[in-house]
Amino acid sequence: MALFVTKFGGSSVASVEKMRNVCERIVEMKDQGNDVVVVVSAMGDTTDDLLKLAGSVGENLKYRELDMLISTGEQQSAALIALSLIAMGCPALSLTGWQAGIKTDGQHSKARIRDIEPARILQEIDTGKVVVIAGFQGLSPEGDITTLGRGGSDTTAVALAAKLKADRCMIFTDVDGVFTADPRIVKDARKLSSISYEEMLEMASLGAVVLQPRAAEFAMLYNVDVEVRNSFNNNPGTIITEVAKMEKQRIVSGVAHDLNVARIALFDVPDQPGVASIIFKTLADKGINVDMVIQSAMRDNRNDIAFTIESNEFNRARPVVNEIVMKIGASGMSYKTDVAKVSIVGAGMQSNPGVAANMFDALAHKDINIHMISTSEIKISCIIDEGEIETAVQALHEKFGLDKVD
């Protein structure tokens, strides 16, 4: 008998009718003789609605209390799925994250799973029940409810699959799998039959929203094969796996883009040890995430330093940056919030020279100006004007022949 861990996202459980569709799939797996653990997200936009509701109370709300509030979304879906399964004659039981033994650290709103005590889950599986678990939540060392960051139910599912040594981990969503680019932008974007952990991690961090980046990280760490597939059809999905298990290595597997980017530059930063540390420590202390950093060549013992942050954090970052300018004696700052990041990702890049040159060539051909560049072994990212992002994604997709990939 095989054990399946399945996860159904918010759009798959958005209504009672959609839940019925989900339950039919679960019953089918069960009827085929498998044990099934189900992880669910909150229904549709419930999490956003709850956050909006909290926002109407005021600003600077306590994350502990917010976690208490938004974790209720997943509890609703877990209970409704269990009720619906039982109504269909399939024994089922819902559990909150803490009932399921999910232990996290104490970082409210972005907690990390530390361990899972699976005794209760195993005991319920043993009695033949489908166990339905509220995703996205756990319990802190203090005994408080935590949440795992937006999209965190994916991580709940992958962590459970690892702990329970599941035979399969399936993430059901509203698209067929991982695509070579966002199909809303590139009409001939292709679904990948497989993608490596490293590539998925980059794609997910770079704005491809099919999987929470931390879920890809977990899958890689514990070597869990994850299948991302559509809950509304029976099309085969994308398998996220070890590079060694993939049939073909591609030089470039996908083009990702992210509009949530703002660029900040500091001028005439004194060229002294410790200055970068002051800049980035001050930002980190305020919880502002920095992505790319570029320091230009020194002149007159002064450097310009540019970096990117998430544009939705810009209003919070701006006073902090002004404070930094004063503190380090820079001559000033500039910013641009209407920029975006376009990236190409591919495990085969590391052994193929000229990929970066091809990327810059494709952008140049479309007259697209590059503001910043950063690279890793399997990724190249460029910051460009937001208005040019669609043209850039399409041009890169074509340049690397991604319309022919499988």
Residues that bind ligand ASP (CB under 6 A): 9-10, 41-42, 47, 73, 135-136, 150-154
| Interface positions with Mg ion (CB under 5 A) | 9, 151
In angstroms, how far is the first alpha carbon of the chain from the final one?
A: 32
Question: What is the strand order of the sheet 102-104 is part of?
Answer: 113-116, 102-104, 137-139, 145-147
The residue (of 110 and 302) whose beta carbon lies closer to ligand ASP is 110
In angstroms, give the least distance from the CB of 8 to ligand ASP. Answer: 10
Q: Which does 8 bind (CB under 5 to 8 A by kind): Mg ion, ligand ASP, none?
A: none
The residue (of 34 and 47) whose beta carbon lies closer to ligand ASP is 47
Dihedral of alpha carbons 148, 150, 151, 153, sign: positive
In angstroms, give the least distance from the CB of 143 to ligand ASP. Answer: 22
Annotate 337-356 with DSSP letters as a single string. Answer: EEEEEEEEE-GGGGG-TTHH
Distances (CA, A) of 204 to 18, 64, 160, 231, 262: 26, 27, 20, 20, 19
DSSP, res 244 = G
Q: Which does 84 bind (CB under 5 to 8 A by kind): ligand ASP, Mg ion, none?
A: none
In angstroms, give the least distance from the CB of 238 to Mg ion. Answer: 16
SS3 readout for 133-152: EECCEEECCCCCEEECCCCC
The residue (of 49 and 144) whose beta carbon lies closer to ligand ASP is 49
Helix, strand, or coil here: 264? strand
In angstroms, give the least distance from the CB of 151 to Mg ion. Answer: 4
Task: Tell me the C-alpha distance between 359 and 373, whole Å.
Answer: 11
The residue (of 9 and 138) whose beta carbon lies closer to Mg ion is 9
In angstroms, give the least distance from the CB of 237 to Mg ion. Answer: 15
CB distance 294 to 307 below 8 Å: yes
Q: Which does 135 bind (CB under 5 to 8 A by kind): ligand ASP, Mg ion, none?
A: ligand ASP
Helix, strand, or coil here: 366? coil
Altogether, the residues listed in the chain come to a count of 406
Q: Which does 197 bind (CB under 5 to 8 A by kind): ligand ASP, Mg ion, none?
A: none
The residue (of 72 and 375) whose beta carbon lies closer to ligand ASP is 72
In angstroms, give the least distance from the CB of 171 to ligand ASP. Answer: 10
The residue (of 268 and 313) whose beta carbon lies closer to ligand ASP is 313
Q: Which does 136 bind (CB under 5 to 8 A by kind): ligand ASP, Mg ion, none?
A: ligand ASP
The residue (of 26 and 43) whose beta carbon lies closer to ligand ASP is 43
Q: How many CA atoms lie within 13 A of 275 on its CB side?
A: 20
The residue (of 9 and 177) whose beta carbon lies closer to Mg ion is 9
Q: Which does 152 bind (CB under 5 to 8 A by kind): ligand ASP, Mg ion, none?
A: ligand ASP
CB distance 352 to 385 below 8 Å: no
Q: Which does 47 bind (CB under 5 to 8 A by kind): ligand ASP, Mg ion, none?
A: ligand ASP
Q: Which does 150 bind (CB under 5 to 8 A by kind): Mg ion, ligand ASP, none?
A: ligand ASP
Task: Tell me the C-alpha distance between 37 and 71, whole Å.
Answer: 19
In angstroms, give the least distance from the CB of 301 to ligand ASP. Answer: 47
**Which residues does residue 261 pair with via DSSP β-bridges, in sequence order?**
339
In angstroms, give the least distance from the CB of 42 to Mg ion. Answer: 9
**Which residues does residue 174 pair with via DSSP β-bridges, in sequence order?**
none
Distances (CA, A) of 34 to 3, 28, 166: 6, 9, 11
Helix, strand, or coil here: 218? helix
In angstroms, give the least distance from the CB of 181 to Mg ion. Answer: 20
The residue (of 43 and 255) whose beta carbon lies closer to ligand ASP is 43
Residue 132 belongs to what H/E stretch?
Answer: strand 130-134
